[in-house]
Amino acid sequence: MLSRAARPALRAGAAAIPARTANNGAAAGYATLREIEGRLKSIRNIEKITKTMKIVASTKLTRATRAMNDSRKYGQTSNEVFESAETKPLEGEGKKVLYIVCSSDKGLCGGVHSGLSRYMRRNVLLPGSQPADLILIGEKSRAQLSRTNAKDIVLSFSGVGKDIPTFADAQAIADQVTQLPTDYSDIKIVHNKFINATSYEPTIVEAFSEEAIANSPNFSAFEVDDEELLANLREYTLANSLFWALAEGHACEISARQQAMDNASKNAGEMINKYQILFNRTRQAVITGELVEIITGATASEDM
């Protein structure tokens, strides 16, 4: 049995135990509030960045689509020449096909670049298919295709697509392609085709070899007898097709970046709402815990 003098001390000690627990809970609540507040601040900063990038992409999209429409004249003119001459790819045994994949160095634009790499793996670079070499334009396609087809890459270019592609860029690439020592049966340019502001799809543009152009059934109608002129024609038409592919791929990239940043801004807004509700509930729980601690301490003081 405890004496009457010891009973008030026992009651005070018993009351101090939940008080310490409540105090630890309040400290944990404060830490959680700081964490949530820090996350809210980070998400709001990300939302500002994505909204700004969306506005920039929207501004660039008009220029990119205008450049794409202008470049189509180059590529379509070359296609009309080959259609009139009835040019067909050669089917040489043992010869390789050259694929030129047009992407860029920039990311944050959804799956516009990875879609090209998937298309190449699933439809072109299949086991048992015709041997092929790759020329990769842009760091994105090089990083993705070098993991599976590094031995097939003969050339790669970077720095193309920082701004709207120009014919000089396409001409410089075409000059390097024509200097390759390998005799290819066919040359194909793979790029994203612009359908509308929200959709695009990988497509292939034929860029025939010099031998294929010379063996065209109706090529004699153009009266090109000099071999040097034929080589110049082949390089010029290749540059035309490359310019078309680069400009159209650039427009697809800007459009995809606009959509990606719009979706990212919406997701950030939803996360801000979610964390704001969590912050309010946690703050209310901390306030309630403090009130419980004050009431408990007051009650313990009255008992003493």
Burial status of residue 298 (CB atoms within 10 A of its CB: 0-12, 13-18, 19 or more) = exposed
pLDDT tens across the length of the chain (304 residues): 334 443 343 343 334 334 444 445 555 565 588 888 899 999 999 999 999 999 999 999 999 999 999 888 888 887 788 887 778 877 766 678 899 999 988 888 888 888 898 999 888 888 777 888 999 999 988 989 988 888 989 999 988 767 889 999 999 999 999 888 888 888 899 999 998 888 889 999 888 877 787 777 877 666 666 666 778 888 888 999 999 999 999 999 999 999 999 999 999 999 999 999 988 988 888 888 888 888 887 787 776 6
pLDDT tens column, 168-221: 999 999 999 988 888 888 889 999 999 888 888 999 988 887 778 777 787 766
- Rounded CA separation 169/238 (Å): 12
Token couple for 113: 């670049």
**The pLDDT value given to residue 25:** 53
Domains of the chain: 57-261 (3.40.1380.10)
Virtual CA dihedral for 247, 195, 114, 251, nearest 10 degrees?
A: 30
Sequence-ordered alpha helix ranges (H) in the chain: 7-85, 112-119, 139-149, 167-178, 210-214, 227-303
Give the single-character DSSP code of 151. Answer: G
- Reduced to 3 states, what is the DSSP secondary structure of residue 194? strand
**At 162, is the secondary structure helix, strand, or coil?**
coil
pTM here is 0.78
CA–CA dist 264, 49 (Å, integer): 10
Compute the Cα dihedral for 16, 17, 23, 27 and give only its sign: positive
The tokens 């031998």 sit on which residue? 211
How far, in Å, CA of 36 to CA of 275, rounded? 7
**pLDDT attached to residue 274:** 92
Contact 186, 209 (CB under 8 A): yes
**Residue located via tokens 């092929």:** 132
